[in-house]
Every structure is written in structure tokens, then in C-alpha cells.
Amino acid sequence: MRIKVEELRAFCMDILTVTGMPEAEAEILTETLLQADQRGVKSHGVMSLKRYVNLMETGVMPKKLEYKVEVDNPVIAVWDGNRCCGQVLGHTAMKAAIEKAKTYGIGFVGVKNSNHFGAGAYYAKLAEAEGMIGISASTGDPTMAPWGGAEKQIGNNPLAISVPTKEALPVTLDMAQSVVAFGKIANMKRQGLKEVPEGWALDENGEPTTDIDKVYSVMPLGGYKGFGLSLMVDVLSGLLIGGGTGVRANPDQMGPAHTFMAIDTGAFGDTEEFKARMDARIAEFKSCRQATHSTGIYMPGELEELCYEKSKETADIIPEIVEDLNALAEEKGREVRLHEV
């Protein structure tokens, strides 16, 4: 169902500000939700609005940004996020990392005691928009077992990297360290499917399963390599700054911890030359002979960029989500409603 982006924006702003979020902060959270839907990443779009409203109403998440700077020098910083909104913390921290990167080429801001920050691509793209390489990562709720184990002990710890280009679409990798998102299997189950493909999931005994009813944890990508990658996100986003990892990253405990890093391409050489090199490398891949059953050769994030281009005026929202959101507005006694275009 297509909804006007401006209507979605006004809707989110109304709900968030009446919940008590300051306007400037509500604008950031709203923008991250809209961008996710416009990029076709529905799991991190307006679907999550109610969740964040709940976190504020139950007092888990303060309504107003407040954080404590524990470490700060021209290159790095460590912030205690006071369990504030992950998106507002993330936006503010990446902007700080970008400023730092202007001095010596690299800026690194770690944020602990945060909340779920949504789509990691949003923060990485803030740096990309400034001609920098942006990197964001976060610890998260356990969805995977350590390699060889049977219990969920580590998150699929998303990592996003965004890279500026000249004429080509910017390249943005945004990936979790599991073969598949847990939510995807949950959706398949809701649709009545009985099987998941081989290599996706483990049962309660840590053994591979294709029976959807026996799925307990998702498998790390590439087996032990994906566990290793997720552990390194635990280290760099969490343990380095004393932030939550594993169960401690749950919303009812410390909450997740994030890393925001900006690398100024201009400090390493000429930014325009870098962008031209990116374009040339992309053109090389695009000219590759396609595999027999290929549907095309796409760079990381390219399909999302193409979706965004088509969603500047209206975005595709799942009808049930529109219903839920309109019910939320009614419940809160607000007049805003979402309408199909």
C-alpha cells in the first residue's frame, strides 16, 4: 500500500512529539524510519514506531537525549547513552565522528547503554554524504549460538559500511552476521510454511534443522567465520567501551552498544579521485559476464538505492502496519491518519 512520505512524516512527528520527544529528536527518529521504508527495508521502517513509543511510555527509554562523555580526544570518544533513543544517539554520535575525521582522517565514537538503533545504513550514509566512508555496528539480543554450542549467546550484530561514489550509486553494505534474519523465519511461520532451507537454522540441541517448528537459533554466515565476525562486533562495539553484549544487550538490561566510525577519504588523497576509482571498480563488476541464472550484478545497497529513487514521494507500507498505526493514533486520541494514495 503506497502512502505519501509527507503524510508518514507528519504522522510519526505527531505521535512522537505528543509522546514527549523534543521536536528536533523526533525529526531524527522519523527520518531514520522513513529512509528505511523508502529503501525497502521494512523491518526497520514505521513498523517500529509503536515499539519506540512503548519504550518511552514504559520509562525504559528517556524521551529527551542526555548522554555522558566518558572519553574524548580529537579522534575517539566514548559516550554513555543513558538508555536514550538509539537513533538520536546514533545520528549525534556519527555527526561527532564526522567532525573528528576532519582533523586526522579518522573519527570513532562508541556509545554504550543505548537502545535499538534501527537500520545501521542510516548512520554509515551520513558519512558517505560528506565524502567519507562511514561504518556503524551494534551489539544485539542473542539470536545465535557460539560455533559448536547449542544456546543463543550472541547477537547477529549488524555491520554497515557506506562508500561515496562519483556518478555511480553509493555503495552501502548493511548486513547481520547470520545467514538469515530471525524475523524472516518468524514471518514464514506466520504464513504457514513448514520448512526452512538447509543451512539457515539450528534446533535446541544445536543441530541443523529444516523443520520450522524446531528452529531455535539462526546460523552464522560461513559457519565459524560468521561467529568470529559477530564476536568482533561484540569486541569493537561492546567490550572495548564496557557496553552490553549477548543477553546484556537486551532492552531490559544494559541495552545494545554501538560503534560509529568516519574515514575521511580526503585525508588519504583526493576525494574526487577516490570517487572516480570507486566508479571504475563498480563499472568493472557491472561489465562482468553474468552467470547463466543471474538476475543481474548489483553492488551492496544498490537495490535499496533504486527503491529509494522510486519512493521519494510515496513509500510502500504493509497494509497491516497502516492499520496498526492508525489504531495507535486513535488510541492516543490523535487526529492524524495514514491513507492509501
| Spatial separation of the C-alpha atoms in residues 152 and 92, rounded to whole Å | 32
Per-residue exposure over 238-275, b if at least 16 CB sit within 10 Å of its own CB, e if not: bebbebbbbebbebeebbbbbbbbbbbbeeeeebeebb
- Within 262-281, the residues that bind a second copy by CB under 8 A are 263, 265, 267-269, 273-274, 277-278, 281
Residue closer to a second copy by CB (options 90, 158) is: 158
Residue closer to a second copy by CB (options 169, 239) is: 239
Reduce the DSSP state of residue 270 to 3 states and report it. Answer: coil
Chain position carrying cell 568493472: 284
- Within 136-195, the residues that bind a second copy by CB under 8 A are 145-151, 153-154, 161, 163, 171, 173, 175, 179
Rounded least distance, CB 33 to a second copy, Å: 24
Residue closer to a second copy by CB (options 203, 316) is: 203
Interface pick for a second copy out of 3, 46, 84, 133 (rule CB under 8 A)? 133
Interface pick for a second copy out of 289, 312, 333, 335 (rule CB under 8 A)? 289
| Spatial separation of the C-alpha atoms in residues 9 and 116, rounded to whole Å | 20
Reduce the DSSP state of residue 106 to 3 states and report it. Answer: strand
Rounded least distance, CB 289 to a second copy, Å: 5
86 contributes a contact to a second copy by CB under 8 A: no
Rounded least distance, CB 40 to a second copy, Å: 15
Chain position carrying cell 554504550: 112
Rounded least distance, CB 240 to a second copy, Å: 5
Q: What is the DSSP letter of 339?
A: -
Q: Say if CB 240 and CB 68 are below 8 A apart.
A: no
Rounded least distance, CB 169 to a second copy, Å: 14
The pairing of beta strand 258-264 with beta strand 106-112: antiparallel
Interface pick for a second copy out of 57, 186, 294, 339 (rule CB under 8 A)? 294
Our measurement of the distance from residue 157's CA atom to the centroid of its chain's CA atoms, rounded to an integer in Å, reads 10
